Amino acid sequence: MISRSKIFASLSRLQLSVLTGERSLTTASGPLCFYASPVVAAEPLKKKKRIDPQVLKQREERKKRRIEKSIRRLEKHASQLKPIEELEAGATLAREKGFRERDQVNLNEPEEETRIALMKEWSRYKFKQQLEELVMIERVMAAREKALEELRKESEELYLEAIQIDPSLLPFRVKGPVATPPIEGYDAPDGEYIDVTRKWE
């Protein structure tokens, strides 16, 4: 019977000899369990092109000048705010500004007091009108609730009929197909999108 030390010695020699070939054999989990690793083919490294140091320096200088130029442009426009188109008046309105401008009216003291009194009276009138409307709405709603309670005591069927929505309040009628069958061979267009957003730098 072969001793264990001889087996290990022969296996280590076998492993060393196989490593020099295309495949390597290892005994990972025991002396009798062999695993073959896949062939790893390497490619020779590409030869690097030698670039003139002067050309590299010029490229770096160009990149640096470009960055400095963009920084200067940003600093120049830093104080300018992005205009809001909705708040800008058109060129027509700017031309007609003098024509549309009203003259300042200087009121005397009695006229000013009269206008202030009118404004106060108008405010009181509108406040009173709103209160009356709110009271009237509350009164109508309370009367309706009371009438419905009385109707429910008399007849449950009439009550259920009374709380139904009246379709004649909003007379709207639509007639047409509820589902349209697909058209054979019709290629639906994706639509087109034109971006008209103004660019600000």
pLDDT in tens, the chain (201 residues): 556 565 555 555 544 444 444 445 555 555 555 666 777 777 777 777 778 888 889 999 999 999 999 998 888 877 777 777 777 777 888 888 888 888 888 889 999 999 999 999 999 999 999 999 999 999 999 999 999 999 999 999 999 999 998 878 777 777 887 778 888 888 877 777 788 888 776
Q: Are 82 and 200 in contact (CB under 8 A)?
A: yes
> How far apart, in whole angstroms, are the C-alpha atoms of residue 62 and residue 80?
28
**φ/ψ of residue 25, rounded to 5:** -110, 135
Q: Are 15 and 25 in contact (CB under 8 A)?
A: yes
Give the pLDDT score at 186.
Answer: 83
Give the pLDDT score at 194.
Answer: 80
Residue 132: CB atoms within 10 A of its CB come to 10
What is the 8-class DSSP label of residue 178?
Answer: S
Q: Are 162 and 151 in contact (CB under 8 A)?
A: yes
List the helix and strand counts (H, then E) for the chain: 6, 2
> How far apart, in whole angstroms, are the C-alpha atoms of residue 90 and residue 19?
84
